[in-house]
Structure 1
Amino acid sequence: MKSILQSVVIAFAMYSKIPMPSIEWEVKNMRYAMSFFPFVGIVIGALACAWYYIVSTFGISPVLSAGVFTVLPVLITGGIHMDGFLDTIDALSSNQSMDKKIEILSDSNAGAFAVIYGIVYMVLTFSFWHEIGGRTILIVALGFVLSRSLSALSVVSFRKAKKTGLASLFSDAAVSRNVRISNIVMIVLSGAAMVAINPVLGIIALCAAFLVFAYFRYIAYKSFGGITGDLCGYFLQLCELAILICVVGGNMICF
């Protein structure tokens, strides 16, 4: 029981800025950390829903509303996944060899493509949050859980590009079978909830998430020889954006 609670602390300490008790990062404490990674998504989704309630209750302007929605995940996570997204963009845009691309992932300097695509990402996110409405917020909020469940599943299931880094660290420490099962359960639960809220938009969201997941595996293996922590961040950001765009866009077209 103690190791499970410590895994919760490590998951939130690593992947959020929510204050956590200080504990030793040992293998036994990290066994189930990836099982609790989706719980960070639950917190973000709950805060997004709470903000939507405040916006609806007090008539806050759509621009301010969208601005808060856009920065909320970054503030909660400390930008760790966005950092991976930007590093991966630089690596993919370099057109270098596989080894050089992996090296670029570790470069702390942001290249021109990272800046450009970072701006594009935030503008798209802001624009589609601006159009959020009705129960679509619930489906998008569940997307924060789904994206993290898929990301955690990849950590214990996909080949690693290198033997060092966060992906390898958490993969090596994890009880793979238990972590895999727990995240599959979270995927099923979040997916079922999406479909229950709105069958059409729920299925659209799931299709978007799984298509991005398939692309993530393809590009990771083809360009890097496997996944890394940065690539998992790249996937997570793309997955959340795809769900947001497809759900809001689907709501505009279908309803």
Structure 2
Amino acid sequence: MGIVRQYLAALGFLTRLGPAVRDPDMAACVPLFPVVGATLGLVLALPLALGLFGGHPLAGAFVYAVANLALTRGLHLDGFADVADAWGSLASGDRFFAIMKDSRIGAFGGMALVVALLGQVCLGAELLGVGRVWVLAFAPVLGRTGAVVLMRFCRDLARPGLGAMCLPGATGRNTAIAVAVAAFCGIAWAGIGPLAWGCLLLGVILYNLARLARKNGGINGDFLGAAIVAGELAALAGGLWLGRG
């Protein structure tokens, strides 16, 4: 499977921007997850950088959040909400995953969706208000890198599903490639300081997600979606921690 086909497979799997690839080798696509994030980030942020909604940061951030939701089919937000529901239930083991698979959304899942969407809009508006539009482009990169790192630390906990197709690809080499891509994009688009703060925030989140997975004896695609959404929020928050100057 050539690198172009791997990229297209990952793009089609994680977003609406790519074609559906028949019988994709998702494990081979794992190191390209941050590249897909960079593609999505450019699509989301470039219109704003070119002046769309200039002078109206809240409107620009709202469009950014809605476009992100539409272009990812809500896949990652769904995982974020499912993990929140299962975590909030205080259940464990098979009961934990049964709650996660339930198509009905609970109170904790609803709150998680509000936090995620409101966080993207509010943090995005703050960044646009101080001219840091390219941090919005970096956020999808850090989110997908977070998913790769989480897979790396939980490769022995695979449960049946789409996540299990990806976990074997989180080798040390592939994880290092993903982290290197994120570091390059972070320095170029956000700066060293925001990159460092974003990674610190994400590290705390991934540690707790990994603990939750080990406590309940497995990891699935919902965990990866949660890592992506959390990573995006961490990048946006990290972009503001250096002040408004």
Q: Which residue of 2 aligns with 1:68?
A: 63
Match of 1:217 among 210, 213, 223: 210
What per-residue deviation string (whole Å, max 9, x for no partner) do you get for residues 30-86 of structure 1? 342112211221122212331222336x63523321211211221221111101001
Q: Is the counterpart of residue 237 in structure 1 residue 233 in structure 2?
A: no
Match of 1:228 among 215, 220, 223: 220
Amino acid in structure 2 at the alignment position of 1:243: A
Q: Distance in 1 between matches of 2:6 and 2:48?
A: 31
Match of 1:206 among 195, 199, 207: 199
Give 5+ residue unaligned stretches, structure 1. Answer: none
Q: TM-score, normalising length from structure 2?
A: 0.86
Q: Give 1:112-123 correspondences, 5 Å limit.
A: 112-123=107-118
Residues 1:33 and 1:60: Cα distance change in structure 2 (over 3 Å):
same
Residues 1:159 and 1:23: Cα distance change in structure 2 (over 3 Å):
closer
Measure how far apart 1:182 and its partner are: 2.1
Q: Give 1:1-255 correspondences, 5 Å limit.
A: 2-20=1-19, 22-25=20-23, 29-55=25-51, 59=54, 61-133=56-128, 134=130, 136-172=132-168, 174=169, 176-193=171-188, 198-222=191-215, 224-252=216-244, 255=245
Q: TM-score, normalising length from structure 1?
A: 0.83
Name the SS of the counterpart of 1:250 in structure 2.
Answer: coil
Name the SS of the counterpart of 2:242 in structure 1.
Answer: helix
Q: Distance in 1 between matches of 2:46 and 2:170?
A: 34
Name the SS of the counterpart of 1:102 in structure 2.
Answer: helix
Q: Distance in 2 between matches of 1:65 and 1:76?
A: 16
- Tell me if structure 2 keeps the 8 A contact 1:44–1:72: no
Measure how far apart 1:105 and its partner are: 1.7
Deviates more, 1:73-82 or 1:146-155: 146-155
- Tell me if structure 1 keeps the 8 A contact 2:45–2:64: no
Runs of 4+ in 1 over 6 A off after TM superposition: none
Q: Distance in 1 between matches of 2:50 and 2:55?
A: 8
- Tell me if structure 2 keeps the 8 A contact 1:146–1:186: no
What per-residue deviation string (whole Å, max 9, x for no partner) do you get for residues 161-200 of structure 1? 443112211224x383542332232233234436xx5443
What per-residue deviation string (whole Å, max 9, x for no partner) do you get for residues 130-188 of structure 1? 2113453223422321221231233244245443112211224x383542332232233
Q: Distance in 2 between matches of 1:165 and 1:31?
A: 13
- Tell me if structure 2 keeps the 8 A contact 1:213–1:235: yes
Q: Distance in 1 between matches of 2:123 and 2:186?
A: 21
Amino acid in structure 2 at the alignment position of 1:101: F
Work out the percentage of aligned pairs sharing the same amino acid.
23
Deviates more, 1:90-99 or 1:4-13: 4-13
Give 5+ residue unaligned stretches, structure 2. Answer: none
Q: Which has the larger radius of gyration?
A: 1
